[in-house]
Copies of this chain bind each other. A is one copy, B any other.
Amino acid sequence: MAERVPVAVIGSAGFGGALGAMLVHRHPSLDLTAVTARTDAGTRHDELYPRYGVPLAMEQLDPDRIAEKARAALVAYPHKAAAPAVSALRERGLKVVDLSADFRLDQERYERWYQPHEAPELIGEAVYGLAEAHRDRIRGADLVAGPGCNSTAALLALLPLRDVIRDVVVDIKTGVSGAGREATPTTHFVSVTENANPYKTEGHRHSAELEQELGDGVRITFVPHLVPMDQGLLASCYVTTEPQLSSEEARALFERAYADEPFVDVIDSPPHTADVRDTNRCRVYVTTAGERVLAFAALDNLWKGAAGQAVQDLNLMLGLPETEGLE
């Protein structure tokens, strides 16, 4: 058996990082050698997340120590905090998948939606980690930016229409784990249960990823909604194409695009988030209604929308089978 690649998970106390730690820990070709956390350092990971069974104590991030222990890292910090951590690990030669927004966008877009970039010199080498769009570039990359959960779902619903799409309304329904582990009025059980609500109607930063990936000629309206789920995300996309497509034509585009994709299923009826829970799969469905194409994608925001996709990227970067440790 080949030696397993030593991997660290930076920021393993949050929801995405915790799942990343679990996936690396169980991965047949990876060896989880370190997990870090900012406020929970000192605690064992499996005390905080017993289900995941990661038997390591979380440590404070010390890039030198991590570089001694690991050849690759998943970084699961919030944006802005991620860039310096990524930079420190890249300087020490680690391959990195970053789950934050810091390396998803070109500098101009990033600074328009976020803030001045903390490590602009690295933007050039970063590859947008949607394997279904950039598999070959991910294979050769040292730094991959894991796409946002909303963007992943929307892009998987839209990529097959890339050449014909002119206008799209993206209406997202997302579970609460996407809002992170911090206890806030928004994440209080009493706020979430029996509730559905749009948020960031003034513009959500994930739409910048759509613009970048779909090209400037596409008009995008993007509104996320919070619904009472833990994990799960559904993107409903209402698309105007040119030329107009029949259901069969739209369907054919999807089948062609995803014929060989290991994690995307083109199905015959509308997708349910429950059907992909705790999997790295994305289920997509396309049909038409009047002149519009309707495309739906369901995924688990923590898996295919974050940590699962990050491991998929890592597999590609390390020359491992793309689906290893994810089935």
Complex Cα distance A198/B295, Å?
11
Main secondary structure of the interface of A (DSSP, over half): mixed
A223: chain B residues within 8 A (beta carbon): 236, 238, 289, 294
B283 touches A50 (CB 8 A): yes
Interface membership of A141, Cβ < 8 A: no
Q: Which residues of B contact A225 (CB under 8 A)?
A: 173, 234, 236
Tell me the complex Cα distance, A223–B169, Å. 12
Q: Which residues of B contact A183 (CB under 8 A)?
A: 183-185, 187-188
A76 CB to closest chain B CB (Å) equals: 16
Contact with B along A295-314 (1 / 0, CB 8 A): 01010000000000000000
Counting every copy of the chain, the complex holds 4
Q: Are B229 and A229 interface neighbours, CB within 8 A?
A: no
Question: A199 contacts the other chain (Cβ, under 8 Å)?
Answer: yes
Chain B residues, CB < 8 A from A219: 290-291
Partner of A50, one of B173, B276, B285, B294: B276
8 Å CB contact of A193 from B171, B230, B275, B296: B230
Q: Are B199 and A270 in contact (CB under 8 A)?
A: yes
Contact A227 B173 (CB under 8 A): yes
Interface digits, A186-197 against B, CB 8 Å rule (1 contact, 0 not)? 011111111111
Cβ–Cβ contact A188 & B181, under 8 A:
yes
Complex Cα distance A51/B191, Å?
A: 13
A78 at the interface (CB under 8 A from B): no
A15 at the interface (CB under 8 A from B): yes
Q: Taking A196-B229, A221-B238, A238-B169 as contacts, is the C-beta distance between A188 and B190 under 8 angstroms?
A: no
Q: Mark A203-238, 1 if CB is under 8 A from B, else 0.
A: 100000000000000011111010111111010101
CB closest residue in chain B, given A292: B221
Asked whether any CB of chain B lies closer than 8 Å to the CB of A121, the reply is no
Query: Is A241 part of the contact surface with B, judged by Cβ < 8 Å?
Result: no
| Chain A 1-45 interface 0/1 with B at a Cβ cutoff of 8 Å (1 = within) | 000000000000001000000000000000000000000000000
A286 nearest CB neighbor, chain B only: B201
Contact A198 B236 (CB under 8 A): yes
6 pairs of A and B residues whose beta carbons are closest in the complex: A195-B274, A50-B275, A183-B183, A197-B272, A198-B270, A189-B192
Q: When the two chains form their complex, are residues A234 and B270 in contact, meaning their CB atoms are under 8 A apart?
A: no
A197-B231 in contact given A51-B276, A183-B184, A189-B188 (Cβ < 8 Å): no
B191 touches A294 (CB 8 A): no
Q: Does A244 contact B (CB under 8 A)?
A: no
Q: Mark A169-184, 1 if CB is under 8 A from B, else 0.
A: 1010101110001011
Given A169-B169, A274-B194, residue A287 in contact with residue B201 (CB < 8 A): yes
Determine how close the nearest CB of chain B comes to the CB of A141; give it in whole angstroms: 29
Q: Is A246 an interface residue (CB 8 A)?
A: no
In the bound complex, what is the Cα–Cα distance between A190 and B197 (angstroms)? 18
Q: When the two chains form their complex, are residues B272 and A195 in contact, meaning their CB atoms are under 8 A apart?
A: yes
Smallest CB–CB gap between A231 and chain B, Å? 7
Residues of B within 8 A of A296 (CB): 198, 201
